[in-house]
A and B are shown apart, each in its own frame.
Chain A
């Protein structure tokens, strides 16, 4: 059995140039050290509200959450809320969640399904396409005041591969141009055929960018998450794409190159083999050969179960995490069995708080041997069939979000980095090549803040 990768620096899986897995050419983002005030200053936060958030495409929803006409979800960012609504013709449209009459919120919940929207304040009604259907006691309004038939205010909305994005100011380039990833990159995972099986929104005591930065590199793994060493390589293949997008391919099913024993099989590797339907006691290879063996086992199982979309995925995609950064505030850990969506949502008023919003999505396969991957960290008893969309678990600051050991470790880390970033003794972050995604993200952010974009 061949060893199909070697931990080296710079890390590359040596995929062919025309493959979606290919190492991307480097992008020179310079060596500037940014002023760390961006992590805590109210002024910088104000600039983000003016220059950034309205002008980008924001991940507002996933299509499996709104399968039928009238289904809606609410996307909340800062002080704004948006309805994302499935239409009769199958398209998806988005509206401010606000009644044009007195400004009440139209939807008072996170999701639902309605034939029309009815404002709870005075009973005004709106069709799912946003147009005004009924003004209660309309004869008591001066006709001139409502002659424009005030409906729900619409925002630009588009979808790609099961992901729904909105653009608040309506002036961003078309979504397909703005997404910096090559065609097929998102679509091949078929997120539209997955379901949200857990949704947790926890409040963290840090700026949203402190959160993004922490999740954009695996350099910290040996130090903050040493338990990953037996099953995950921390030299990731880092790739930069246009428009602030980026990826790290995190090889999984291997020991870190920092572990001297690369022969004996780690218990975590055995666990992963079992997940892939293998019998680890029948495996006689070395630790270095486990990842390839898992890939072959998953490939064979995919064929047996009729998972045709595997044909579009490379062998490495069957084991590895393609942690993909969607500028500005999203990272999706992409795996064939499911995806882990993280949104870093700014607090409405406090630059030193953000919401870490996680949607765990799983593609249900009705087969007794097809297990939910352990990396999803699902609590026991969670319904993974997709028949019932779980409510959002909202976790206030200071309470452990129970997202699994690794993520709970990050909560502590990120809060400590936030506190340190304000010290007079800190001159700004010094980013290595292993942190090139962080630099790429901040360089793109600066283009918005400085009106270069």
Chain B
């Protein structure tokens, strides 16, 4: 996991219903632990670019703090207005008690803004 496009986090650092943010290769990724599993997505709302980890996680619904847009953390699809575009999801696996996140190859370039 020395790759700049990956990170590893001890599983114990994130409780169910909680979120964590990591910057991977300049890209902010929010890791959401839910009853249904753990997921990694871009941390920037596709509507007005607010940081989603400052919002709320309800079940598998991630709710933006600014205008209340919501996304399904399992696949990034928008669940509620005003967002219409999905969030990019990233690959995630659990290895020996650690959450490993890898940026999707097409998202590996640093964000331009």
Residues in chain A near residue B60, CB distance under 8 A: 387-388
Quick one: CB contact mask for A383-427 with B, threshold 8 Å, 1 for yes?
A: 000011101000000000000000000000000000000000000
Quick one: CB contact mask for A89-120 with B, threshold 8 Å, 1 for yes?
A: 00000000000000000011111111100101
Whether, in the assembled complex, A70 has its beta carbon less than 8 Å from a beta carbon of chain B, the answer is yes
Q: CB distance A109 to B68 under 8 Å?
A: yes
Q: CB distance B59 to A113 under 8 Å?
A: no
Contact among B63, B79, B81 with A108 in the assembled complex (CB-CB below 8 Å): B81
Q: CB distance B59 to A109 under 8 Å?
A: no
Residue of A nearest to B48 (CB): A120
Contact among A111, A387, A389 with B35 in the assembled complex (CB-CB below 8 Å): A387
Give A102-160 interface residues, CB cut-off 8 Å to B: 107-115, 118, 120
Q: CB distance A120 to B67 under 8 Å?
A: yes
Contact among A112, A118, A120, A391 with B63 in the assembled complex (CB-CB below 8 Å): A112
Do most interface residues of chain A lie in helix, strand or loop, or is the interface mixed? loop
Residues in chain A near residue B35, CB distance under 8 A: 387
State how many angstroms separate the Cβ of A364 from the closest Cβ of chain B.
Answer: 13
Give B58-88 interface residues, CB cut-off 8 Å to A: 58-61, 63, 65-70, 79-82
Residues in chain B near residue A112, CB distance under 8 A: 63, 68, 70, 80
State how many angstroms separate the Cβ of A132 from the closest Cβ of chain B.
Answer: 17
Q: CB distance B79 to A107 under 8 Å?
A: no
Residue of A nearest to B79 (CB): A391
Q: CB distance A108 to B68 under 8 Å?
A: yes
Q: CB distance A387 to B63 under 8 Å?
A: no
Q: CB distance A120 to B82 under 8 Å?
A: yes
Whether, in the assembled complex, B51 has its beta carbon less than 8 Å from a beta carbon of chain A, the answer is no
Q: With the chains together, A107 CA to B80 CA distance in Å?
A: 10
Q: With the chains together, A70 CA to B64 CA distance in Å?
A: 13
Whether, in the assembled complex, B56 has its beta carbon less than 8 Å from a beta carbon of chain A, the answer is yes
Q: CB distance A108 to B56 under 8 Å?
A: no
Quick one: CB contact mask for A51-62 with B, threshold 8 Å, 1 for yes?
A: 000000000000
Q: With the chains together, A353 CA to B56 CA distance in Å?
A: 37
Residues in chain B near residue A388, CB distance under 8 A: 58-61
Residues in chain B near residue A387, CB distance under 8 A: 35-36, 59-60
Q: CB distance B59 to A107 under 8 Å?
A: no
Q: CB distance B63 to A113 under 8 Å?
A: yes
Residues in chain A near residue B79, CB distance under 8 A: 391
Q: CB distance A109 to B56 under 8 Å?
A: no
Residue of B nearest to A120 (CB): B67
Q: CB distance A107 to B56 under 8 Å?
A: no
A-B contact count (CB 8 A): 50
State how many angstroms separate the Cβ of A126 from the closest Cβ of chain B.
Answer: 13
Q: CB distance B56 to A113 under 8 Å?
A: yes
Residues in chain B near residue A113, CB distance under 8 A: 55-56, 58, 63, 68
Residues in chain A near residue B70, CB distance under 8 A: 109, 112
Residues in chain B near residue A107, CB distance under 8 A: 68
Q: CB distance B80 to A391 under 8 Å?
A: yes
Q: With the chains together, A71 CA to B70 CA distance in Å?
A: 13
Q: CB distance A109 to B58 under 8 Å?
A: no
Q: With the chains together, A108 CA to B80 CA distance in Å?
A: 8
Q: With the chains together, A110 CA to B66 CA distance in Å?
A: 15
Q: With the chains together, A111 CA to B69 CA distance in Å?
A: 9
Residue of A nearest to B69 (CB): A109
Residues in chain A near residue B61, CB distance under 8 A: 388-389
Residues in chain B near residue A115, CB distance under 8 A: 65
Quick one: CB contact mask for A360-392 with B, threshold 8 Å, 1 for yes?
A: 000000000000000000000000000111010
Residues in chain A near residue B67, CB distance under 8 A: 108, 118, 120
Q: With the chains together, A109 CA to B35 CA distance in Å?
A: 25
State how many angstroms separate the Cβ of B53 from the closest Cβ of chain A.
Answer: 13
Report if A111-B80 is in contact (Cβ < 8 Å); known contacts: A387-B59, A388-B60, A389-B59: yes
Q: With the chains together, A112 CA to B67 CA distance in Å?
A: 9
Q: With the chains together, A387 CA to B36 CA distance in Å?
A: 10
Residues in chain A near residue B48, CB distance under 8 A: 120
State how many angstroms separate the Cβ of A76 from the closest Cβ of chain B.
Answer: 13
Q: CB distance A109 to B81 under 8 Å?
A: yes
Residue of A nearest to B50 (CB): A118
Q: With the chains together, A415 CA to B81 CA distance in Å?
A: 31
Q: With the chains together, A120 CA to B69 CA distance in Å?
A: 11
Q: CB distance A70 to B68 under 8 Å?
A: no
Residues in chain B near residue A71, CB distance under 8 A: 58
Q: With the chains together, A109 CA to B70 CA distance in Å?
A: 9
Residues in chain B near residue A118, CB distance under 8 A: 66-67
Report if A114-B63 is in contact (Cβ < 8 Å); known contacts: A108-B81, A109-B68, A109-B81: yes
Q: Apart from A71-B58, A113-B55, what are 20 other A-B pairs with CB-CB below 8 Å?
A: A70-B56, A107-B68, A108-B67, A108-B81, A109-B70, A109-B80, A109-B81, A112-B70, A112-B80, A113-B58, A113-B63, A114-B56, A114-B65, A118-B67, A120-B67, A120-B82, A387-B36, A387-B59, A388-B60, A389-B58
Can you pick out 8 interface pairs between chain A and chain B where the beta carbons lie within 8 Å of each other?
Answer: A109-B69, A109-B70, A109-B81, A109-B82, A111-B80, A113-B68, A115-B65, A120-B67
